Chain A
Amino acid sequence: MARTTGNKNIQAKLVLLGDMGTGKTSLVLRFVKGQFFDYQESTIGAAFFTQVLSLNEATIKFDIWDTAGQERYHSLAPMYYRGAAAAVVVYDITSMESFERAKKWVQELQRQGNPNLIMFLAANKADLEEKRKVGVEDGEQYAKENGLVFLETSAKTAQNVNELFYEIAKRLAKASPSRQTGMKLHSRSQESGRRLFCCSG
């Protein structure tokens, strides 16, 4: 849950979910350390990172939980996403299976019932256009229907990676109690969120 310490400092728990090998760790490492490894070993349990982002309106301190995609850790996921202010569900555009998996994660988060949870859908590995199995429209469409923010990303080329986290930060800043004016994005996400729960309920 995002909490405000002082006027503009927000500490927010962010969780990344998705099938194994979709690039969750790579996204985080690109964002936190500016690194990318062609071969990134499987995450065990969950890795914890922190990163601070300064916006004009607030300073966001992210507590990032990069969860393992392996099936055996699935049942333990609530331990990591409980109390999260934002969730990034990641799939790999070269794997339809990972997209299906992402939908399951979205459903699980929705069932979990935190209406304020900011959810992003990251279509990762956008650099592998020639191997694409999941169309941009498919992702967009699904995101729209479920009130997610959609971005195509590539941890390898850094495409949209910082944008992803900045966008989350902005929304968190807007959503935080010391809200300021200019609520366009926020209100839209609220609306879509509401719609989402109507539909799923």
Chain B
Amino acid sequence: MSSDSSSTSGGEFTNPNPSPNSTSKPLEDQFASAALTEPDNEPPEIQESPNGVANGSVGENSHGEIESNEREGAVGSNLEARQSVRWRRTNSEVEVEAPSSPSSSGYAGERGSSSGSGSSGGFDMIGGGIGGGDDEEIQEVSNVDSIQDSQASWMPGKRHVDEAKERGQRGIYYGNIVMIEVGVGNRDGEGFQCSTTISDPVMVVVVLVALVVAVTMVTELVDDASLSWRKRKKHFFILSNSGKPIYSRYGDEHKLAGFSATLQAIISFVENGGDRVKLVRAGNHQVVFLVKGPIYLVCISCTEEPYESLRGQLELIYGQMLLILTKSVNRCFEKNPKFDMTPLLGGTDVVFSSLIHSFSWNPATFLHAYTCLPLAYATRQAAGAILQDVADSGVLFAILMCKHKVISLVGAQKASLHPDDMLLLANFVMSSESFRTSESFSPICLPRYNPMAFLYAYVHYLDVDTYLMLLTTSSDAFYHLKDCRIRIEMVLLRSNVLSEVQRSMLDGGMHVEDLPTDPLPRSGTLSPHLGQPRDSHESLREPFVGIGGPAGLWHFMYRSIFLDQYVSSEFSPPINSPRKQKRLYRAYQNLYASMHDKGIGPHKTQFRRDENYVLLCWVTQDFELYAAFDPLADKAVAIKTCNRVCQWVKDVENEIFLLGASPFSW
């Protein structure tokens, strides 16, 4: 489906949908082809393609759908063997393990174990963990092993296996992917699931033991001192492959040495077997692993975000680290495996915490696109022209931004900037108060441009929110860049770009209330409307009249694939509180992940209804549209509204996108 066809909103095809007042729209066609007649309160999700998402229902939250999605996708693959595992755990065990709590173990005390060489040190850790437990835990291990029909020497009874079957616990082992669910005895009904690429069943056992220890540390420990730490919903850790903590979102990473060592043991052990741990599920917790050479990144979360999203977040965190240090930090680990990296990241906590915060509000973190500040075409052109001028004088990238939105950017010939790099760079600059104090010249690395080398960034704030970044490869270029900045600032002031930027910041961008009326019945000027009732369906939803845009449209995001840019409508009632915005953000995130699931996707359209929203997603080769409606919104009308949104975006693309000079993805 091309954007051209989407723009023909006044098309002449007959709409197969039984909606009144219909005009033919590509999106409608798509839904029609999926045989979607629309009984308005039909509970199940409707989706064009036969994937797991369709099994969601109104009452179910979207995460459940994604998860089932994942499992079905897995089952659908080549399945070579099935194993069932049932682990029982008691509270006493949990307490026995408490001494290895991160907060109760001093750094010095733990240093020994974490500096134990390689995975054998790690193994001791695991062994210690098991030994510390009571007999029952050992039994569990042997139990698992028996299931995996090896090491018959210490085979206990089969009853556990039967029990596991009875309880419907699942463990799937096929090819080099293992998914195992383990019931943790003291948490009723909560599973423990692990998705790895482990080829050796014996290893699975050991890894699982370690995983239980690790997950227990996060979810089960009853140490008062670490209570607040454990209560956090989403942890991020960076550690080295020798188990040295590098970064922790919460708590002092040095006090987490024991915990880091455990994580290291798990990862290294699997790595040494040529395999990879990717995901562990324990109840509502997910543990996501990402290995980048000597750097391990781990996320432990109970936010119900899809695995792909969490993994993407770890990738960004790694990218942020590279932006600060470059990949050459790996050499430090080659020279000294026990290298302590924390001093190198001194003072950057705020950069990481700001990035992690953006995972819950900034769509760029999962869309992999950037967004522009809405500006009149001529204004953006004026800014672009002077930046181009500067770029021609030997600047690699000239980027003018306002908060996280791009005003204009220009790259030297053949240089292309990845949206993720922009995100990380903007985050780095915005989160570091230092840049606001005066003009700065700092080495930075753009991981997608060249992860090995530093560029030099001249950064200067032109006003409170607007900043200019000039990137160069030359460390001597400061005075030149300073001159460039003076020229740019002069031109921007003279052509009123800065005052336009201020005005745009106040006015905001696209408001759903302003969605132009259907051009067909009311041709002529497209006047904005504030929630004016437009369809007969509207009258059914009286409480919502006057809230949101037409047809119950609450919010939308449009991503242009060609431009690597997205535009998001302003939040307006009823999505007006930060909490609601975050919830919508998470819903979009799930939607994105389900649309881009490699196993079962990609999909073209998705229509999803739950108690919070109607979510509609439409992906073509040119764009992706994500829209949120009132949960009672009529489907046909919603689809029609989406077409109007696309048309609207087309109509104003000059103002909301940076066109022409894009150095991206050529």
Chain A positions near chain B (C-beta within 8 angstroms): 20, 25, 29, 41-49, 66, 68, 70-73, 76, 79
Contact = CB atoms under 8 A, between A and B. Distances in A.
A76 B475 contact: yes
Contact of A41 (B434, B476, B482): B434
Interface in B551-577: none
Contacts of A42: 346-348, 432, 434
Contact of A79 (B433, B438, B475, B482): B475
By CB atoms of chain B within 10 A, which of A25, A46, A66 has the most? A46
A72 B438 contact: no
Interface stretch (B27-35, B366-374, B440-448, B513-521): B440-448
A20 B444 CA distance: 19
B350 A46 contact: no
A47 B443 contact: no
Judged by DSSP, the binding face of B is mixed
Given A41-B433, A41-B434, A43-B434, A71 B346 contact: yes
22 contacts: A41-B350, A42-B348, A42-B432, A42-B434, A43-B437, A44-B347, A45-B442, A45-B457, A47-B434, A47-B439, A47-B440, A48-B439, A66-B438, A70-B343, A70-B344, A72-B325, A72-B344, A73-B443, A76-B443, A76-B475, A79-B475, A79-B476
Given A41-B434, A48-B478, A20 B347 contact: yes
B107 interface: no
Given A72-B325, A76-B475, A79-B475, A47 B346 contact: no
Contacts of B433: 41
B526 interface: no
Contact of B440 (A29, A46, A70, A76): A46
B324 interface: yes
By CB atoms of chain A within 10 A, which of B324, B438, B439, B476 has the most? B438
B202 interface: no
A72 B346 contact: yes
Contact of A46 (B343, B345, B347, B442): B442
A25 B437 contact: yes
Nearest to B347: A42
Interface in B461-500: 475-476, 478, 482
Nearest to A73: B443
Contacts of B478: 48
A44 B343 contact: no
A45 B440 contact: yes
A187 B58 CA distance: 86
B333 interface: no
Nearest to A39: B433
Contacts of A76: 443, 475
A72 B345 contact: yes
Contacts of B443: 45, 73, 76
Contact of A72 (B324, B428, B432, B441): B324
A70 B435 CA distance: 16
B432 A48 contact: no
A71 B345 CA distance: 8
Given A48-B438, A48-B478, 15 more contacts: A25-B437, A29-B437, A41-B434, A44-B432, A45-B442, A45-B444, A46-B441, A47-B440, A48-B440, A66-B438, A70-B346, A71-B344, A71-B346, A72-B346, A76-B443
Judged by DSSP, the binding face of A is mixed
A73 B482 CA distance: 21
B346 A20 contact: yes
A137 B325 CA distance: 38
A84 to B, nearest CB: 13
Interface string B413-435: 00000000000000010001111
B247 to A, nearest CB: 14
Contacts of A79: 475-476
Contacts of A73: 443
Contacts of A44: 347, 428, 432, 434-435, 440, 442
A168 B562 CA distance: 56
By CB atoms of chain B within 10 A, which of A29, A49, A70, A72 has the most? A72
Contacts of A48: 438-441, 478, 482
Nearest to B325: A72
Given A72-B325, A79-B475, A47 B347 contact: no
A41 B324 CA distance: 16
B73 to A, nearest CB: 42
Contacts of B347: 20, 41-42, 44, 68, 70
Interface string B6-23: 000000000000000000
Contacts of A45: 440-444, 457
By CB atoms of chain A within 10 A, which of B343, B347, B437 has the most? B437
Contacts of B324: 72
Contacts of B343: 70-72
Contacts of B442: 44-46, 68
A44 B432 CA distance: 7
B259 to A, nearest CB: 25
A76 B444 CA distance: 12
Nearest to A76: B443
Interface string B343-370: 1111110100000000000000000000
A17 to B, nearest CB: 15
Contacts of A72: 324-325, 343-346
A165 to B, nearest CB: 16
Contact of B437 (A20, A47, A70): A47
Contacts of A29: 437
Contacts of A71: 343-344, 346
Contacts of A47: 434, 437-440
A19 B645 CA distance: 55
Nearest to B350: A41
A47 to B, nearest CB: 5
